[in-house]
Amino acid sequence: MNTSNTLDINCDLGESYGVYRTLSDEAILPLITSANIACGFHAGDPATMRLTVEGAMENGVAIGAHPGLPDLQGFGRRRMEITPQEAYDIVVYQVGALDAFVRASGGRMHHVKPHGALYNMAAEDSKLADGIAEAIYQVQPDLYLYGLAGSELIQSATRIGLRSVSEVFADRTYGADGKLTPRSQAGAVIEESGQAIAQVLQMVRDGVVISVDGTLVPIKAETVCIHGDGANALAFAQELHRVLELEGIHLSAFGLQDDDNR
């Protein structure tokens, strides 16, 4: 349960590269409080990184790095066999790249959220999670690590002394173990916006989510992820933002409730 009545809305952005362009980033930025910006491995390129950083700063949105596996063709959603050292190295590389753009624009980075398969692998594998958390801590120890609520990522952050934020998903279903339903399975993605919004409200208000088998699973909701690459991404972001404000839920990046310098 989120007892503070404050919620962060984060979105994965900056996933254009080369001649491929996503369409919703500019319109979504005013509706969110945190942006996870692709760093070139699963998506993104230098120009897109710069432009997305600038857009986030213009909208007062907290800036986070979104490091993924080096798999552009698979959009970082295919699992790869990597060691904890390799996880450390690719996260240091990508966080450093985005941080350079943030500093060049006169801003500061707020968080790191691993992407796709890297995120899901580290949510289950404590050694991979430790590699990621250690990378973030060594680069900039005051950053937040965004990780799946109740996962190894959150536990690794605690062990290393890194601040963490427990993440839930608006448009994904959950298993009875509190893990996300794999995208390879039917029903992994919630297509109906009303169902997704109802799930968010239940997670925030009641601290539980209904799993795919009907089990009530306890969950800690400090930030909710919406995806910026779907066909209805903008419409969903608008509706979720509207409903949360009507419910009296204050929207702010985690840790910045009293700080306008994002």
For the domain made up of 6-251, give the CATH fold: TIM Barrel (3.20.20)
Q: Tell me how far apart the alpha carbons of residues 128 and 181 are, in angstroms, rounded to a whole number.
A: 20
Q: Of the candidates 171, 173, 175, 186, which has an alpha carbon nearest to the alpha carbon of residue 225?
A: 171
Q: What is the pLDDT of residue 86?
A: 98
| % of the chain exceeding 90 in pLDDT | 84
Mean pLDDT, residues 144-172 taken together: 97
Q: Where on the phi/psi map is residue 75: left (φ > 0), alpha (ψ -120 to 50), or beta?
A: left
**β-strand 216-218 against 208-210: which pairing, if any?**
antiparallel
Backbone angles phi, psi at 229, to 5 degrees: -105, 5
Q: What is the pLDDT of residues 191-221, one digit of tens each?
A: 899 999 999 999 999 999 999 999 999 999 9
Q: How many CB atoms neighbour CB 119 within 10 A?
A: 26
> What pLDDT, on the 0 to 100 scale, is given for residue 98?
98
Q: Can you tell me the distance from the alpha carbon of 147 to that of 178, in angstroms, rounded to the nearest whole number?
A: 13
pLDDT of amino acid 4: 59
Count Cβ atoms below 10 Å from residue 262 Cβ, excluding itself.
19
Taking the C-alpha atoms of residue 63 and residue 55, their distance in angstroms, rounded to an integer, is 10
Out of 78-87, 92-101, 172-181, which region has the weakest mean confidence (pLDDT)?
172-181
Mean pLDDT, residues 124-146 taken together: 98
Which residues have CB under 8 Å from 37's CB, separation 6+?
A: 13, 14, 44, 49, 52, 53, 56, 63, 64, 65, 66, 98
Helices 126-139 and 84-104, packing angle to 10 deg: 30
- For residue range 237-255, list pLDDT tens digits in order: 999 999 999 999 999 998 8
Domain segments of the chain as ranges: 6-251
Q: What is the pTM of this model?
A: 0.93
